[in-house]
Amino acid sequence: MVYSSLIIIVMVLLAGMAISVFILMWSDKRGQYRNVKAGAYVIFDEDEPVGEPQDQTFAKVPPPGGDGGGVPRRSAFGPSSYPEPPPGWRADVDRSVKWPVLAYVGSAVFWLLVGSIFALLASFKFNYPDWLVEDAWLTFGRLRPAHLQTVIFGWLSMVGIGVGTWLWCRLLKTPLRNGGLMLVGCVLWNVGMVIGTIGLLAGFARSIEWVEFPVVAYLIIIAAFLLNNVAFFRTLAHRRVQHLYVSIWYIGASLLWTPILLVTFLLPVYSGVPHATANWWFAHNILGLWLTPAALAAAYYFIPKVTGRPVYSYHLSIIGFWTLALFYNWAGAHHLVGGPPPQWVVTTGIVFSVMMIIPVVVVALNHHMTIVGRFRRVIASPTLRFVVFGAMSYTSVSIQGSLQSLRGWQEVTHFTHYTIAHSHLGVYAFATMIMFGALYYILPRLTGWEWRSSKLIAAHFWLVGMGIGAYVVALTAGGIIQGFAMLNPNVPFLNVVESTKLWLYIRSVSGTLMTLGHFIFAYLVFENIRKGGPQRDAPTLFPLARKRPAVSP
Amino acid sequence: MTRSVILFVGVIAAVLMSYTGLSLLPGLQLFDIEATPGTTDYTFEEARGREVYIRDGCIYCHTQQIRPENFGADIARGWAPRPTKAGDYIHDDPHLLGTSRTGPDLSDIASRQPSWDWHMAHFYNPRAVSPGSVMPAYPFYFDVIEPGAVLASQRTVPLPAEFAPPDGKVVVAKEDVENLYAYLMALRVEPLDAAE
């Protein structure tokens, strides 16, 4: 019985691949990929032409010539069935997304602070294991999943939706439809987060990594997600662009992927070892198919936009997208190297993890070549500083991920603090930093108010930048030492524990720096929304840009 | 790309393929495996203890999986007599394989450390029996009472003087930690015959 089902499933898989190849060939034949280069120019037009860095919020100097800086004409994509956006569409679009985006971003920042506090408590408990032990809800085994869940489903998911909404409407050049549904979704999402967090701390945790909340919390979050999707896809139906920019692919795909991930994994059909393989399929995909696409979508928009230079190779961005879509979701099984699942499952995970080198190198090359020669902008612009930091971390974390999935590497680092360093390099140094950068660009456009202080932005950048740097270095070093000690059966286990203590202290210190940075950021967001501080008519850039003309017009 | 439908059908197909491959196929392959000899379903008490293990997040520092002999030092460390197999886990819902070894693996803890006294002292304060441990203390698993108030059904937890509560009070285990202990004593990896 089992073998006949296996054969059926394998045939479905093969049919699926055949269909995918057929669709690719068909779309190529129908010209879906023609004039690829022109796609990179769709984010520029007369108001925001190629060659003009777009960090200026208020300084609206019309560019000389006004021919759009060599923007290819719309006919590059063949006859268009979509209406032209009217002049001044950016202001309309920003008005339409203002409250949904602010609601999501505000909630996200709240959960970032909550998650940081959980993180700090959990980290200091390694250094002082007899601290705060009287109450069950403050025990390490509850604070740690509370940290993970609040930063993933509270901070990064909600800020991703906020940033994604803004990008979505701006790239489709049309106002948000059903913004009210998104507000309802935001309220529901927060309700889910509160129920989940309190439930987890109160003793209803499930110990299934990355889905520790009680199930009801996810049901509420899925409902919120689907409400958002109504708004997203109704807006897409009213698009006023013919070509869908690469950021739209990433966001659109992740909006479809994530509910599928949540629903399929919450089905009560797994137990034992298959539960573990499903668990890591899910958990790795929340990273790869939800957080990563949102952050890459932002990087693909902000790097070209702030430098004023189209993406180096739009061809590469297409390859990068499809290889990510086809490879990333198979990689999760590398979390089970050396474990009890069938070897073919683990090997498949390793093979696809290594194949991830292709999309990563492609994206890295593309971003690097877009930015090369414009490093002065990176220093001057808050947005670009954070986004480029994130994009560089994406390259490092992914290359590291590909290599460390190999059995020889896993033998040392699996089960150690090294893994924690790796996950923070991805979720924090990559995804979170890009989201910070995106918010520095987006919020002033929504509130009509510039950031209060470039000094505080700089403090935020250096605190979190140095914090995450020290964090990753310390836990990587500590994890490798711990791993080699554990491989030697003559080292007593308590000596292995001893070898990690110094690094765990450094982790607590760097976590404190990052948390300080988050409070500064939260203050800046608060001040921006309530329009605190001096009124500016120029962007809040870092001092370098004020001393010299940033770019010649 | 100008057609959103093609794009979105493609990406959904991609994720459903990997779901089939990594979530459904292993389930089908292992659908009718048998429990390894010595693996039995949890008793009521053990299952209650497993809930405590889940609720208080033991999984975040302890694995329940033994790597093969030529991969890591699990067996050389004496953590278990053999690598664990899928048949060891068929009663586990949810799975508790774990990903971190801040503490040692617990697959075979019942054979390695069966002592009630040791485990209770360790839960009350890990430093009482494992100097240098970073495991949190779990005082909320215990009642600290007057020696005269100990019931006949209760055992006091033996503790070194420096970890014992002041004023001559004694420590007795609550039901949660008794169940947790019962669960730990169900974690056992039986050696298999050479034929296996």
Q: pLDDT tens for residues A232-252?
A: 999 999 999 988 999 999 999
Are A134 and B138 spatial neighbours (Cβ–Cβ below 8 Å)? no
Token duo for residue A205:
């945790």
The percentage of chain A sitting over the pLDDT mark of 90, rounded to a whole number, equals 76
Q: pLDDT for A479-530, tens place per residue?
A: 999 999 999 999 999 999 999 999 999 999 999 999 999 999 999 999 999 9
The residues near A47 (Cβ < 8 Å, ≥ 6 apart) are A60, A90
- Residue recorded with tokens 């309700």: A191
**Kindly report the CA angle at A38 between A36 and A39, in degrees rounded to 5?**
70
Query: What residue of A is the nearest CA neighbor of B13?
Result: A16
Q: pLDDT for A324-371, tens place per residue?
A: 999 999 999 999 999 999 999 999 999 999 999 999 999 999 999 999
B153–chain A nearest CA distance, Å: 25
- Range scoring the smallest mean pLDDT among A33-42, A123-132, A509-518: A33-42
| Tens-level pLDDT at each residue, chain B (196 residues) | 567 888 888 899 899 989 998 989 999 899 889 999 889 999 999 999 999 999 999 999 999 999 999 999 999 999 999 999 999 999 999 999 999 999 999 999 999 999 999 999 999 999 999 999 999 999 999 999 999 999 998 999 999 999 999 889 999 999 999 999 999 999 999 998 754 4
Query: What residue of B is the nearest CA neighbor of A146?
Result: B57
More confident: A396 or B9:
A396
Q: pLDDT for A55-106, tens place per residue?
A: 755 444 444 433 444 444 444 566 678 898 998 899 999 999 999 999 999 9
User: What's this model's pTM, rounded to 2 decimal places?
Assistant: 0.92
Checking if the pLDDT of A170 tops 70, the result is yes
DSSP A476-532: HHHHHHHHHHHH-TTS-HHHHHHHHHHHHHHHHHHHHHHHHHHHHHHHHHHHHHTT-
Q: How confident is the model at residue A1 (pLDDT cuts 50, 70, 90)?
A: very low
A268 preceded by a cis bond (ω within 30 of 0): no
Q: Give SS3 for A65.
A: coil
Among the partner residues A205, A256, A332, nearest to B55 by beta-carbon distance? A205
Between chains, do A243 and B1 touch, taking CB under 8 Å as contact?
Answer: yes
DSSP B155-185: -BPP--GGGS-STT-EEEE-HHHHHHHHHHT
Among the partner residues A209, A244, A420, nearest to B2 by beta-carbon distance? A244
Q: pLDDT for A188-235, tens place per residue?
A: 999 999 999 999 999 999 999 999 999 999 999 999 999 999 999 999
HEC sequence for A171-215: HHCCCCCCHHHHHHHHHHHHHHHHHHHHHHHHHHCCCCCCCCCCH
Question: pLDDT value at position A4?
Answer: 64
Residues of B in contact with A271 (CB under 8 A): 90, 92-95
Query: What residue of A is the nearest CA neighbor of B3?
Result: A32
Mutate to test the interface with A, among B97, B107, B123, B141 (most CBs of A within 10 A): B97
Q: Does B168 touch chain A (CB under 8 A)?
A: no
More confident: A132 or A551:
A132
